[in-house]
Structure 1
Amino acid sequence: MVAALDTARRTAGVAIASGATGLGKSLAARVVADCCEGRWSIVDFRNLSPAETAARLSLLRGELAATSATHLILDDVNEIDDPAVRDALLRVVTSLRRRDCTAVITSYRAPTKATHYQLAPEAPSAVEVAYLAEEEVTELVALAGGDTNYAGAVYRAAARGHPQLTMAALLHLKSANWSRASIGAVLGGQIPDELGAERRAARQRLIAAFPTDAQTLLLRASLIRGGFDRGLALEIAGLEPIVPLPGLLLDQLVGPWIEPYRTKRLRVSPLLEDAAEDVLTSAECRAVHRRIADAMFRARSISVLDAPAAMHHALRSEEGGFVFAFAHSVITCPVEVLDFLAPFLGELMAFATDTPIFPQDLAASASCDWPSCSSFFLMALPGMLGLPGTPSNASVFM
């Protein structure tokens, strides 16, 4: 990634790195600067409006004319497609080229093709800063003095390679001298203090950067397991208090806090996963889970990839009807579908049948009749384990 940025910078005079919060865009730009001879300066545009960004770029152009030549890191130019910002940025880049200087620009979103062509028509497209691969996490574990056999656990604990969470986990493990307790915490999915601190800091940045309506929508979305589509985001915006113009707010959140995830799917940054549980009341969280579960079960079919999410939201909704609907869908799956479902619902094996499903709400537990639901699950397990079974074909899973 660093090599790609540096090649684009040398070729076209400007390179653009795009990616969500915490993926390391700014760090990658600084590494490029460290590897390059010459003087570098950093200009921060985080949380600026389009008008403020354009004004700062115009001021920067004047400062460049009055100072010695310098390469630039233009950090968090997140309004890059705004016409005024684009024009001001083009003037800055042109000034740099006249002095044989270059720039690295970071942004939440890659610029449109029109913007990119205006800034650097001969340059390759923006470099997307991605999650770390498991092989890269293995190398980092070794550099941190750990046993590479634990690299897979670190990779999964850090949301499958989220750079900021990966580094936080490694710092925790290294500071604990890779003790059995610290390794066990990671293997057990327990978030060490460092990861919790990163997520608290992320919530503070969210509060500083977005209006209340956008915060509300994002916090509700933080409860969604796995990926979601635009329709589900609009569904949860309809809860009281209603979030106005949710589609426009969602567009603002995609990039900094909501990431593209598979075709036409989105997901909230791991830095904000379940953030609502620390901000909203229990009743508000249950209402979000109910709306999500209702939307999922109203669909004509549910992908097997969404089966864990369907079960999670059914349980967290504390609505017996949703739990029963999920149990019925599992038991009525065709055998061939159960084969696909099995890897995603392994936690069913750990469910107890002698305790209420909702210990804090015995009335809801009674209405759900958890032993019957558990029996449904247990009846489905032979099919999941590859044993003979005779389920019907009335399931919603596909």
Structure 2
Amino acid sequence: MNSDELPTPEPTFEVKLSPQPLNFGDAIAEIGPNGTADPAQRVAELERREQALQQEIQALQATLKQQQDELAETQATMGRLVQEGLRELEQRKQTLQIAVEQLERRQERVRTEMRTTFAGVSQDLAIRVQGFKDYLVGSLQDLVNAAEELELVPEAEEAPVAVVTETKSAERQAAPNPQFAEQSFQDQTKQIRSLLDRYRNSPDYYGPPWQLRRTFEPVHAERVSNWFFTQGGRGALRTMGSRLQNILVSAAIVSILRRLYGNRVRTLILANTPERLGEWRRGLQDCLGISRADFGPEQGIVLFEAPEPLIQKADRLVQENQLPLIIVDDTEDQISLSLLQFSLWLAFAPDPQMPRFF
């Protein structure tokens, strides 16, 4: 072998690895006769891969849209469930409110039946018994007075009896004659105004019995002052709109009179039904701090359903040098003229512009 003769180089083959694994046949097909890949085949392969990627992207987009649709549907379903739950709760609330109102009405009916069946009948019987007792007491008093006028002892023994009778008469105090509107009663006027200012500005909710224990507004003080100083303790006042307000005004008047005249003041209440008399009793107990024992024929306050026994009782109190205060409920359509003869009376007149309460 000569030095001029060079060895013939052996042909070399160049193989490119594709991103995706190719089988042996594909690798052979990519190698051209000169040991290089065919560009056309390479472009076709890239186009196939691009199409595959686009199909994969489309599939992912379709999956994403489907999931978004499912999410929107889930949110709509949850919104519907929440709305239905709220509607159900609202319906249950309304049902409970209706049930509560029905129970309250039933409770009120039961209370009314209890008042009308047991307490009402008992109060009616008590008033009738008291009226009959007052009638008997009055009749016995008349018999005693008639017996005292009879000459049952000799004339020689009349002198001691006369002396005793005159002594008893001298010991008795004359019945007071209130005249609040006159100038001569300036001391009482100052005392009444002082009590009204105290009730209005410094209420005492735990004071002694027969003292006003409730809040006293200027409108109440105006009514009481008008009754004392303008009407002189004898007249009618327009109703305050409710029986409780009328009772408050009456309680203030009773408290002031008890402060001026003490136990000699006897309050006589006139109302035409036992239920209304029961309201007067409970209201005066609450406003004056008194008990049930303070109500009765011989106590501080007497309740009457008819004017006739009230007038008889007031006459006997005047004869006993007591001071009757007559208070007439605003449900009384007519007032007996015999009531107007007494020194102290208060009648509540119904307001024509307001409905009558029962």
The TM tier, using the shorter chain, reads: under 0.3
Which structure has the larger Rg over C-alpha atoms? 2
Q: Which has the higher helix share?
A: 2
TM superposition score normalised by structure 1? 0.21
Higher relative contact order (CA 8 A, sep 6+): 2
